[in-house]
Amino acid sequence: MNGGLDDPGGEGVQCGRAAQIGLSLTDQGLIPQGRVLLGQGDHHAAIVLPGGPARFGVTDQGGQALRFRRVRQQVAQHAGYAREILILSGVLCDLLPDAAEAQGLAALVRYAEARRPARQDDGGVMVPLSEQDPALWDQALIGQAETYLRRAAALDAFAPRVIQAAIHGAWCARRDLGQPAPWPDILALYDMLLTRRDDAVIRLNRAVALAEVRGAPAALAEIEALDGARLTDFAPYHAVRADLLERVGRTGEAATAVQAALDLGSPPAERAWLEAKLRRLRA
């Protein structure tokens, strides 16, 4: 596989456009359930950001997430949600300096954002992580991420979010395309992550590395052992499976899997990559 989708942490940084979904802190174990993080008033807090305050609300009737409600437009000028997440993760580290998961999250989002300039080619097609040119990555953000990762590792090197950040860090240590992709290190880190948190998404991402280290047949066997019925609506499952099927010569099944991924919907860059793959498989 050529690195698959650009999601080595297995969760797409666990965030979407900040104005639409919440940053779940209690779910990550960063604050106790139901606690207001900052400020006073009726179940909301204020954190001052450049350009104005961000407003949050805490659900206290069975909810667990600190929900993002409003950020002034000045904070949303950098790649959609990315600037808000970078700022908020840094604020979180200031509030919780002894929380390894907070420091790990700050590292993870910076590594992920640093790769943004290399994620698409000139035609707007996704470039898989292993094919991205490290010369295009934002080295300043990578430097910030490394600082947060060192702090996180000093607190708890085996916390799941810290291991996920280390996976991103292993990729971002690559300096040019002439340097071999760090697949053995990635596989070892996923093996470590599985000892702390075992789920289908992590195993799916691990299979990508496994294919590069031990071969596609071994990786496909692990993917086929997953509960496919529960992953039917998860497009990356079909995309990874398609790649492995193609590599073992089962091109018809690979094309069917790519079509399943397309049918579920993907962002434009990923969709263009999948469509090109499907055309190749059907040629």
100-110 pLDDT tens trace: 999 999 999 99
Residue 1, in any domain of the structure: no
279 pLDDT higher than 50: yes
Smallest CA-to-CA distance from 225 within 197, 249, 206 is with 206
Which of residues 113 and 4 earns the better pLDDT score?
113
Q: What is the structure's pLDDT at 104?
A: 96
Residues 199 and 222 in one domain: no
Residues 70 and 126 in one domain: yes
Q: What is the structure's pLDDT at 67?
A: 34
Q: What is the structure's pLDDT at 35?
A: 34
Helix (H) or strand (E) holding 126: none
Q: What is the structure's pLDDT at 82?
A: 78
Q: How far apart are alpha carbons 113 and 124 in whole angstroms?
A: 17
Q: How far apart are alpha carbons 215 and 127 in whole angstroms?
A: 22
Cross-strand partners of 13: none
Residues 201 and 219 in one domain: no
Full DSSP string of 173-204:
T--STTSPP-HHHHHHHHHHHHHH---HHHHH
The pLDDT of 168-180, averaged and rounded, is 96
Q: How far apart are alpha carbons 243 and 233 in whole angstroms?
A: 17
6-52 pLDDT tens trace: 555 433 322 222 222 223 333 344 433 333 333 333 333 333 333 44
Which residue among 214, 230, 247 closes a domain?
A: 214
Torsion angles phi and psi, residue 48, rounded to 5: -80, 125
Classify strands 66-70 and 52-58 as parallel, antiparallel or unpaired: antiparallel
The pLDDT of 48-66, averaged and rounded, is 35
pTM: 0.76
Residue 4, in any domain of the structure: no
The pLDDT of 64-76, averaged and rounded, is 33
207 pLDDT higher than 70: yes
Which of residues 193 and 64 earns the better pLDDT score?
193
- Tokens 């395309």, residue? 177
Residue 32, in any domain of the structure: yes
User: How far are the Cα atoms of 7, 115, 117, 250 from residue 236, in angstroms, in the given order?
Assistant: 10, 19, 22, 18
Q: Are 101 and 28 in contact (CB under 8 A)?
A: yes
Tokens linked to 12? 């797409």
Q: What is the structure's pLDDT at 55?
A: 36
Residues 223 and 203 in one domain: no
Q: What is the structure's pLDDT at 83?
A: 80
Q: What is the structure's pLDDT at 7?
A: 54
Smallest CA-to-CA distance from 128 within 185, 212, 201 is with 212
Residues 209 and 252 in one domain: no
* Averaged pLDDT score across all residues of the chain: 78
Residues 198 and 101 in one domain: yes
CATH of the domain at 273: 1.25.40
pLDDT confidence bin for 85, thresholds 50/70/90 = confident
Cross-strand partners of 202: none
Q: What is the structure's pLDDT at 57?
A: 33
Residue 256, in any domain of the structure: yes
Tokens linked to 164? 């996920």
Residues 18 and 139 in one domain: yes
Q: How far apart are alpha carbons 260 and 233 in whole angstroms?
A: 9
Residues 106 and 191 in one domain: yes
Of 71-75, 187-191, 206-210, 266-270, the poorest mean pLDDT is in 71-75
Smallest CA-to-CA distance from 105 within 119, 92, 115 is with 92
Q: How far apart are alpha carbons 100 and 151 in whole angstroms?
A: 7
The pLDDT of 118-131, averaged and rounded, is 95
Helix (H) or strand (E) holding 56: strand 52-58
Residues 124 and 39 in one domain: yes
Q: Which domain holds residue 205?
A: 12-214
